[in-house]
Amino acid sequence: MPVIDHYWQTESGWAMLANSVGIEHLPIKAGSPTMPAVGHHLEVVDGDGNPLPRGEKGLLVEHGPLAPGMLQTIWGDDNRYLNSYWRHFKDQQLYLTGDYAIQDADGYFWMLGRSDEVINVSGHRLGTREIEEVLSSHPAAAEVSVIGVKDELRGEVPLVVAVLKQHIAPADEDNVAQEMKEMVRQRIGAIATPNNIHFVNMLPKTRSGKIMRRVMRAVYQGDEIGDLSTIEEDATVDMVREAIDAMRSQL
């Protein structure tokens, strides 16, 4: 069966970007949620809210008025709602989704991750999701997470924590890691190539299935891990710590 992707938020209540089968079934581009759904006017803009040319990365925004069903305020706190969603840009009234995206030459949107997960490597802004999608396409990869960690020379660097498919032997991990790095180098560029790829049996997740990137970042940087009350399984933190400690011992 064909996979038909889409994009939405808790705040939107329904799809904001979609291939609207039944209205107009557009050609599928694997990994793209296609184009704005009926009632939505989405655009990729720079940090000042100015529209960006197609092919350039930026912030995904929604022009008002909002489509039916979208969040209109926060109960008892209208000002917080306005500050969180509508006042990010000084001179423009745009709804900030908080996501980093790109629109290609055909008008299709591609999501690159949360804007607060964009990492700055030697002045180059990289979406963690674009690196994850390249790495996830490796036939040995079962699950991949990319986070930005501090680096004295480059500001930040991408750190990869991955789960391999069960048939991959431990002896093959080094070869898989090198192949993954080469894939990133060829498809995105040398600047995005991770220094290290750590393999674990399981990624730390909340009970609802969200990967706890802050936990992995804290383990790597030696920071305070913080609250773990929502974690699915405590052992996964130890797995990440053991994998990173093992890698550090080889450096």
Catalytic positions are 116
In 3D, which of 62, 214, 44 has the Cα closest to residue 128? 214
In 3D, which of 175, 180, 176, 211 has the Cα closest to residue 194? 180
Whose tokens are 């720079």? That residue is: 46
Distance from the Cα of residue 68 to its chain's centroid: 27
DSSP, collapsed to helix, strand or coil, labels residue 62 as: strand
Distance CA 169, CA 175 (A): 11
Q: Give the number of other CB atoms < 10 A from CB of residue 135.
A: 23
The alpha helices in the chain, defined as continuous H runs, are 78-85, 128-136, 173-187, 213-221, 235-250
The DSSP line for 117-171 is G-EEETTEEE-HHHHHHHHHTSTTEEEEEEEEEEETTTEEEEEEEEEE-TT--GG
Distance CA 238, CA 217 (A): 13
Distance CA 223, CA 237 (A): 13
Contact criterion met (CB below 8 Å) for 41 and 19: no
